[in-house]
Amino acid sequence: MLSFTERGRGPALVFLHAYPLDSSMWRGQIEFFSSRYRVITPDILGFGGSQPARPWTMSQMGDELGTLLDHVGIERCILAGLSMGGYISLPFSLSNPDRVERLVLAHTRARADLEAERTARNAMIEELKKAGTATLPEKMLPRLLGPDAGEDVRSFVRSSIERTTPEADMFAVAAMRDRSDQTERLSSLRCPTLVIAGSGDAILKVEDCRAMAEAVPQGEFVVIPQTGHLSNLEDPANFNRAVDDFLRRFDSK
Ligand code: MLT
């Protein structure tokens, strides 16, 4: 089963992390939300405590998430996935509408990789085979963090990347490359969904994130200014406020 951390009491709030990080990227959210929620942060297979690495697909990782929820006795949760975490959270929510009461999709997309993106994934896998993780921080840091990210965040993300193994990275890159397109399914997403974008995200365009929110019947959209792809780490106060506003609105209904 996936390794996870758990803190707080209340409705279950599950955060799924980005590539190539682990559940520790949610440090600022665990601190903030555990006063009102039961915050669960799983490590995706091969990352953090979820060892050993082995190949996986988005739908298998959704099954792993379901097993974890069963194990901790959670029937329904609020699910928040960032980037790769969103690639897992979206199909999981569509296939398990009774288990997800609200969804947060941060810095992620519904569509599959384009051909050029698949080619880049294959090049990354080759590089990981040849050089291990040696060049990964240099490749990923400019993609993940905006120019305004502070030094502490930069070194936190660097050391998270350095902790990963080439196997875990290769399997995650292959899972992202092979993920299926969810765009057509967005209109059947039943739960209220908050889509979060970063104004300086090097991986995703703000307009594409907005379009994804607009395709969801109960979709909402927020842009976190002056952040890149990891707004939860780059500007935890604004990220937490956006999620908190969304959650409180429905808590009071
Ligand atoms: C992530 O942040 O999870 C990944 O970098 C997203 C991606 O490469 O598509």
d(CA 96, ligand 1 centre) in Å = 23
Contact at 8 Å (CB) between 67 and 3? no
Nearest-CA residue for atom 4 of ligand 1:
19
Contact at 8 Å (CB) between 82 and 44? no
Looking from the CA of residue 85, the nearest atom of ligand 1 is: 3
d(CA 196, ligand 1 centre) in Å = 15
Nearest-CA residue for atom 5 of ligand 1:
19
Tokens for 213, please give them: 């929110």
CA distance 177 to 114: 9
- Substitution site in 44, 84, 227, 229 for ligand 1 pocket (most atoms within 8 Å of beta carbon): 84
| CA dihedral angle for residue 181, residue 185, residue 191, residue 193, rounded to 10 degrees | 50
| Predicted pLDDT of residue 40 | 98
- The string of pLDDT tens digits covering residues 146-161 is 999 999 999 999 999 9
Amino acid type, 8: G
Beta strand pairing call for 38-42 and 4-7: antiparallel
179 CB under 6 A from ligand 1?
no
d(CA 201, ligand 1 centre) in Å = 11
- The string of pLDDT tens digits covering residues 64-111 is 999 999 999 999 999 999 999 999 999 999 999 999 999 999 999 999
CA distance 86 to 143: 17
- For the chain, percent of residues with pLDDT exceeding 90: 98
d(CA 186, ligand 1 centre) in Å = 20
| Predicted pLDDT of residue 251 | 76
Helix (H) or strand (E) holding 15: strand 12-16
Residue written as tokens 């979060």?
196
Q: What pTM value is reported for the model? A: 0.97
Please give the mean pLDDT across all residues of the chain: 97
